[in-house]
A and B are shown apart, each in its own frame.
Chain A
């Protein structure tokens, strides 16, 4: 008798578990979203300054560029790769766009396009090394990262480039309908990439080569071309982020964007992208990046010293991966 009642309640619990809680928490992106909403809720409650539209827009603008790079990183991660040169590509295109305008006197539109293509070219080179020459992606992109940054340092001797045309400011500092342009860039690129990954044939192929490369070859996919494609997309996005970065800063610094490399990986992983490839969604990456951005803003508003930021970001990263690890714990294999 007692046995039966226990069993029944068990059943009910497990029913709620299976039908309602499971689907929500079995989806990483949902989990991050919940976490993000929690943070926002707490912060708006205790920090009135956070609530101002002005502050919110500033925060979003601040993380929008690194998010664009993080989306590129995710594309590479999803297809089973890794890009350790992404920060250096940002720096290279940031110097390139300034150089083209200031020293070569190219028109703005041409320089913007050409510098973005410099990023694309870097990505393509990474892709060739990884997919054709078959160098381990960590090593290939680490080395290429040094080379990209070497190119900058050798040619600029570390000097910043100033004196950019006034009209160029609009990309990083302009507004449309009261909202900063970089936010539009992030949202627009996010939507395009989301559609690309979830709805197009090539998007699906990237998940496939990341999930099981041998199987993808036997299914007739050209895995090495796809892999090059993923690195090229990543380089292009990093290149574009670099261009907008100069516009926002007003000068091109030799090391601008260089520290972004690992944060882009962190944003992706917090957002549910798997380091083993085959898994991840763009909206998760945006939230992952937003979490890091909001936290740093909170610290500023609370007048906590900037030194704390890396400490806290580290904790969040550990937390994000732990949640994933814990969720997997029931299923040993």
Chain B
């Protein structure tokens, strides 16, 4: 046994996040940690990595009782955590980010040994298969690449325990594959991995054992070989779950959105497609294929260079998100922390901010109306909050996402562009969001559903657009008619 946590308790104002949780991590194992949003997974890992102090309980490493004081201390003990919300210093180089706490010096002078720094960095970058110049700033890295940098950090430190909090939530299949190879390599080096994910298929792919948490309580630890997906889900949610994807009942109407020759320098090239009322069109592509750029162009963040956009057969110009919203377009960003949440505003304020005018009386915001509307969403999406006044930054990742989805739905757009809407959302809630989306389409809302989760794209879309190198590589039928292999092949560069 390598790491043992015993009877850990941790309370935050209004919630008991962890209640007498115990679990054991063996040497050389991949140990999955699953549970619904807000079950306490991240909190438990934050305790192990020294971010939070537990209210009570003990932690043992190799049988020795240890009190972990800070992330630095935890690092020293050989524990590396790759956070759910990534944190690199954008203005520093990749090399400096990786070696941030142990930059090599020339002899023992205070001068930085740049040559060694860059060499060491190249070495670890190679291990995570990231072809980047160590001198580049971290600024322009995509979410997936940032994750690889964090892994490189763990490798550079030669950590014995590596904690991955939803590492695949925001990266594509190709990177997931690389990630799994790295994990296998860690395993063969007798390192232990704690792996948090809401994608259960992955767990069967990679984990040896799985521990289930529910409402801050330890439920059970199972051997992967002796269990199956349904059993895990039922332990997670405490009930049986029927169908991940809803039956499609929407009637397809006229083209609500048509796009001709959409072009934006170095982002989009000649993109043509249409979207019908009540239709769900999935958009799949590898990282950097132009999926998000397409969304941002349609939403007016990157006004286009050439090409035409028609809404209800009328040519429109979209120069800003405000224009887009006026035309009935809604957009959900893939980057929750940086571009979606208002961290210090509360849950209610985060839900209503995009259409506050709806709640306005003559002069003032009608607090009662605001609360009613928030309540409706909190119930509808079963968002786990202790009160409306709770700051959104104190919610678990998945619950934050549900709040942002609520904000978007509150605006009642006719065209919804969803960029990774179920990122970091647990199975139960995922099914709820799917059926919610299906309900919207029954009211003629058209959906552009961007996701890097293949089973999800295939399960929910009527048609699937595959993007590659800033343009459309193909359009495929959805509703389970196209297999993962085909889409992946279409998305990969030849």
Taking a contact as CB atoms closer than 8 A, the residue among B52, B53, B338, B365 that contacts A214 in the complex is: B338
With a cutoff of 8 Å between Cβ atoms, the chain B residues found around residue A124 in the complex are none
Which of B60-68, B259-267, B352-360 faces chain A? B352-360
Per the bound structure, the CA–CA distance linking A208 and B324 in Å amounts to: 20
With a cutoff of 8 Å between Cβ atoms, the chain B residues found around residue A150 in the complex are none
In chain B between 346 and 367, which residues have their CB closer than 8 angstroms to a CB of chain A? 349, 353-354, 356-357, 360, 363-365
- Choose among B356, B357, B360 the residue with the greatest number of A CB atoms under 10 Å from its CB: B356
The interface bits of chain A over 198-209 (1 if a CB of B lies within 8 angstroms of the residue's CB, else 0) are: 011100110110
The interface bits of chain A over 315-333 (1 if a CB of B lies within 8 angstroms of the residue's CB, else 0) are: 0000000000000001111
B340 and A200: CB pair below 8 A?
A: no
Interface of A is mostly: helix
Any B CB within 8 A of the CB of A217: yes
CB of B364 to closest CB in A, whole Å:
4
With a cutoff of 8 Å between Cβ atoms, the chain B residues found around residue A220 in the complex are 321-322, 324-325, 354
CB-nearest residue of chain B relative to A333?
Answer: B51
Per the bound structure, the CA–CA distance linking A211 and B53 in Å amounts to: 27
In chain A between 238 and 280, which residues have their CB closer than 8 angstroms to a CB of chain B? 274, 278-279
In chain B between 285 and 328, which residues have their CB closer than 8 angstroms to a CB of chain A? 299, 301, 321-322, 324-325
- Choose among A7, A204, A218, A279 the residue with the greatest number of B CB atoms under 10 Å from its CB: A218
CB-nearest residue of chain B relative to A19?
Answer: B13
With a cutoff of 8 Å between Cβ atoms, the chain B residues found around residue A155 in the complex are none
B357 and A222: CB pair below 8 A?
A: no
With a cutoff of 8 Å between Cβ atoms, the chain B residues found around residue A332 in the complex are 51-52, 70-71
Taking a contact as CB atoms closer than 8 A, the residue among B11, B299, B321, B349 that contacts A204 in the complex is: B349
Any A CB within 8 A of the CB of B55: yes
B321 and A217: CB pair below 8 A?
A: yes
CB of A67 to closest CB in B, whole Å:
24
Any B CB within 8 A of the CB of A14: yes
B342 and A218: CB pair below 8 A?
A: no
Given A14-B55, A22-B13, A201-B365, A218 and B301 touching (CB < 8 A)? Answer: yes
CB of B328 to closest CB in A, whole Å:
12
Per the bound structure, the CA–CA distance linking A165 and B71 in Å amounts to: 67
With a cutoff of 8 Å between Cβ atoms, the chain A residues found around residue B55 in the complex are 10, 14
A195 and B341: CB pair below 8 A?
A: no
A219 and B56: CB pair below 8 A?
A: no
CB of A197 to closest CB in B, whole Å:
11
With a cutoff of 8 Å between Cβ atoms, the chain A residues found around residue B14 in the complex are 18
Any A CB within 8 A of the CB of B345: yes
If A201-B360, A207-B344, A331-B52 are given as contacts, then 8 extra A-B residue pairs at C-beta distance below 8 Å, sorted by A number, are A10-B55, A10-B56, A204-B353, A208-B345, A214-B339, A218-B321, A219-B354, A220-B322
25 interchain pairs, CB-CB under 8 A: A26-B13, A200-B363, A201-B356, A201-B365, A204-B365, A205-B353, A207-B342, A207-B345, A208-B342, A208-B349, A211-B342, A212-B339, A212-B342, A216-B342, A216-B353, A218-B299, A218-B321, A218-B340, A219-B407, A220-B322, A278-B343, A278-B344, A330-B52, A332-B51, A332-B70
Chain A interface residues toward B at CB < 8 A:
7, 10, 14, 18, 22-23, 26, 195, 199-201, 204-205, 207-208, 211-212, 214-222, 274, 278-279, 330-333
